[in-house]
Amino acid sequence: MKLVGHENAISIIKSFVKKGKESDAYIFCGPKGVGKKKTAWLLAISQVCKRGEVLNPCFSCDECRRAVNKNHPSIIEVEPEGLSIKREILKEVLEELQFKPYSGEKRFIIIDDAEDLTLKSANMLLKTIEEPPRGVFIILITSSIRKILPTIRSRCKHVYFGLLTDEEVAKVFEMEGVPKDAVFINLADGSPGTGISLMKEFSSGIGVFDEIFQLIKSPSIKKVLEISESLVRREGLIDLLELFKHWVVKSKIYPDQIKTVSIVERVDVACKEIRMNANKSLTITKLLIDLVKLSV
C-alpha cells in the first residue's frame, strides 16, 4: 500500500502530525477515486505502527498487520449504509471513544463519503470535534465538501487531493494488479479508482469502441449493421454509450472540436430516445451512420 502523487497533500499532512496535537480533525477533499481513503488509512496505520514514520508504516509489526486486515480496535471506518450515514451508526462509534484506547494513545475514526452524514449525525460529530477525547483523530473523506456542515468545515484542517497524471494513473493500475490499458487510463481522467471501476464493469464491452473506430476509417454499411446488432444485444447499453461519449472526447478521434461536440450531442439524443423506448436497432444504426458522416 503506497501513495502515488499528491506530494503537496502528503507534505501538509506531515506538517500537521509534526505539531504533535493530542487530538485533531481533518477533511480530505477532492475528486472521487484519487486516493483520499488510502491516504487516510496509511496515516492511521503509520500512527499505530511501532516502527514506521508518518504515512510510511513498516507493515511487518503486529499493529500494522491487524490494521491492514481492518481489525485494529484503534482504527474505525464509518461508511454510508444506503444513502446516508445515520445517527445510530455514528453514536455507537463515538460512544466507544469514551473508553480507554486498546494500546498506545492514538485512535482514528475514518468517515468515508462524509457528505452523506444526516443532519443529526453531523451535529453529534460536531460535539466530538469540538471536545474530542484525548488521542482521538477524526478524518472526514469527501468529494463534495460544500455538502458538509459549515460548522464542521470550520473546525477541521483541510487537505486537498487533485487529479493524477496519466503516468501516475498507470502506476496505480500496476500497483493494484490491473492491466495498464490505455483506453481505461484515458477514461480514468486522473482518477485511478474511476478507471479501475470502469474496467471491471466494461472490460468485456470496450472492444466495440475499436470496431467503431475502424468503421469510421473504412465505412461499410455491412459493418454498420453488424456493430448495431452487437450493441443492441448488450446489457447496460446506455451506460456503454455514455462511456463511448467520454472516450470520443478523450481519444480525440475527431481532431475537429466542432465534430466532437456534434458526436456528443448525437450520443445524448440516442440515449434519450432509448430511454423513451425507441427502437434500439434503428437508433443505434442511425447513430453509427452519423459517426461515419461526421468523419468525412
Give pLDDT tens digits for 103-159.
667 899 999 999 999 999 999 999 999 998 889 999 999 999 999 999 999 999 999
Does this model's pTM top 0.75? Answer: yes
* DSSP secondary structure of the chain: ----S-HHHHHHHHHHHHT--SSEEEEEESSTTSSHHHHHHHHHHHHH-SS-BTTB--S-SHHHHHHHTT--TTEEEE--BTTBB-HHHHHHHHHHTTSPPSSSS-EEEEETTGGGB-HHHHHHHHHHHHSPPTTEEEEEEES-GGGS-HHHHHHSEEEE--PPPHHHHHHHHHHTT----HHHHHHHTT-HHHHHHHHHHHTTTTHHHHHHHHHHHS--HHHHHHHHHHHHTSTTHHHHHHHHHHHHHHHTSSSSHHHHHHHHHHHHHHHHHHHTT--HHHHHHHHHHHHHHHH-
Residues 14-53 pLDDT 10s? 999 999 888 999 999 999 999 999 999 999 999 999 888 9
Looking at the structure, give the CATH architecture of the domain made up of residues 207-295.
Answer: Up-down Bundle (1.20)
Asked if the domains 7-162 and 207-295 are classified in one and the same CATH topology, the answer is no
Q: At 64, is the pLDDT very low, low, confident or very high (cuts 50, 70, 90)?
A: very high
Which architecture does CATH list for 7-162?
Answer: 3-Layer(aba) Sandwich (3.40)
pLDDT digits 0-9 by tens, 230-268: 899 887 888 888 888 888 887 777 777 888 888 899 999
Query: Where along the chain do its domains lie?
Result: 7-162, 169-202, 207-295
Chain segment 198-241, per-residue pLDDT in tens: 888 777 667 788 888 888 888 889 999 999 998 998 878 888 88
